[in-house]
A and B are shown apart, each in its own frame.
Chain A
Amino acid sequence: MNLPVIIKFVIDLLAVLLLALGIKGLSKVKSARDANRLAAFAMSLSVVGLLSYYLGTSGIAIQSWIWIIIGSIIGSLFGAILAKKVPMTSMPETVALFNGCGGMSSLLVALGVAIFPVSGGQENFDFFKSLINEVSISVSIFVGAITFTGSIVAMAKLQGWLSTPGWTQSKVRHFVNIVFAVASLIAFFDLINGNTSSIWLLVIVSSLLGIGVTLPIGGADMPVVISLLNSYSGIAAAAAGFVVDSQLLIVAGAMVGAAGLILTQVMCKGMNRSLVSVLFGGSLSAQSTASSGSGEYTNITSCSVEECALTLEAANKVIIVPGYGLAVAQAQHTLREVTKKLEQNGIEVVYAIHPVAGRMPGHMNVLLAEADVPYEQLKEMDVVNPDFPATDVVLVLGANDVVNPQAKNDSSSPLYGMPVLDVQEARTVFVIKRGMSAGYSGIKNDLFDLPNTSMVFGDAKKVLNDLIGELKDLGVGDK
């Protein structure tokens, strides 16, 4: 082993270690930010390691430098700008977009290696020499393409640019996707057999497969899909690692792949869904319309903002249950103002965070943190559930399925078994909601029928603004 090889080996080892420490550190609130920077540093280190290796061995040609600089500047610039500008509520689609681009990168590497067998380079690397390389190129293209198109469709659907076409909810989609899958398999084996031209077939059908699989999936399940695609992009990176023979890529890709799988599992559990039903079941409302027969509400109490304010003023302990609707209405800052007023009046305020509140696990925490809610006031479900019986008022803001008592009481409900917040145990429950429409699941919420539940109809932000006005009139928090 000569010096450049040793140096690269040491740097790679260090980079893997730091990446692992980074991921580990991301699991604790205190160390998370430093851990993220550590991981970023490890990535830069790995680039330095790779470049110094080539400088020390084959050298790097001037035209290579030019293209490296062009690609780096453009990619980094757009990435940094988007990361700075994007609102926190759009986090899921942003992650999806970044993720798709990672997949695209792996796809392009494999494609480049496959269609331009290098001849002019200093070192002849004929990747089609061995079967292994053909397999890794095919896998990289296949997974990369699915990651890319799948992520882009996921992003477009979350942004509201794409709706779910009707045909994708019928059985037709299974047929279509099976055709795509079989076609990619054929292209896959054709490619491994050495027929280079089928590479384009593989690119096209795996791209279509990514679209076909993601398109039928409803908004509620999208985070699960993004998480799964995140896992795929790791696998694509690992496959690209096999293509260019880099252990570092394989390790990092495998770690991300495993991470994505774990996260996906956690999300599924929180929503009481299995991965299979997310991927192949279509949207949940389509399945459940038949099963939940009691679709009519019989005992809805609606009340005004004023009544709500009066009850809040008299309370000692208030629990807020924020949900997706709050994020959509961008009302987290207004909510914070309301709770500030209550706190100034000596009322204890706590936020109950369901594991899948918001649009992704942990998304609600980010949104509330953005609105300056102290971290200690955010309570996770298991911690807060025993507190509900001793609570005077619960404010449910744009959450629905996560507070549905059916999940505990009605074994015939599709929600049965899903962990929920026991808000009905509280003395009074106010549900702030636009109308009587069902949640993601499309299932009737028994909570709304309970005698201690009152509905406050309206847009979350507007209701909260009115609430601030009412509380002011009552003299709450004017100190």
Chain B
Amino acid sequence: MSFISLLWVLLLGSLLGLELIGKVPPTLHTPLMSGANAISGITMLAALTLIVKAGENVPLLIIGSVSLGFALFNVVGGFFVTDRMLAMFSRKPSNKK
């Protein structure tokens, strides 16, 4: 992948993000922020790549592993906490009379 095409990817990805998020009601801003935050933990892929390519380089393996841990903390925690918030919205108003 050449650098220029990666830049295109960056540009189009940004535009996509702007478009997708432009129309969210304020109600969902906190869950959305939390969900988007979980997605930013996608750096776990970079950490995985690092570990796989580290070979026998133990310090690099450790750095990769710590990095993976931080990223997954972000991803798993982020998705769970978002789910917790959204579960409250979808709960049926059972005691409304």
Contacts and interface: CB of A to CB of B under 8 A. Distances in A.
B13 A238 contact: yes
Interface string A41-54: 00100110011001
Which residue, B30, B34, B58, B67, has most C-beta atoms of chain A within 10 A? B30
B28 A78 contact: no
B9 A251 contact: yes
Contacts of A43: 38-39, 41-42, 44, 75, 79
A58 interface: yes
Given A121-B57, A255-B13, A27 B49 contact: no
Contacts of B72: 71-72, 75-76, 79
A121 B36 contact: no
Given A27-B28, A255-B39, A259-B20, A240 B46 contact: yes
Contact of B53 (A125, A259, A340, A353): A125
A214 interface: no
Interface residues of B, number: 89
Contact of B28 (A26, A74, A118, A132): A26
Interface string B49-78: 111111111111111111111111111111
B57 to A, nearest CB: 5
A95 B36 CA distance: 10
Nearest to A252: B42
A32 interface: yes
Interface in A129-153: 132
B36 A344 contact: no
Interface in A228-276: 230, 233-234, 236-238, 240-263, 266-267, 270
Nearest 5 pairs of A and B residues by beta carbon: A258-B17, A79-B77, A254-B13, A75-B72, A374-B93
Interface of B: 1, 3, 6, 9-18, 20-91, 93, 95-97
Interface of A: 19-20, 22-24, 26-30, 32-33, 35-37, 39-40, 43, 46-47, 50-51, 54, 58, 60-61, 63-64, 67-68, 70-72, 74-76, 78-80, 82-84, 86, 88, 91-92, 94-95, 98-99, 101-102, 104-106, 108-109, 111-113, 116, 118-123, 125, 132, 226-227, 230, 233-234, 236-238, 240-263, 266-267, 270, 340, 343-344, 353, 355, 360-363, 365-366, 369-370, 372, 374-376, 378, 380
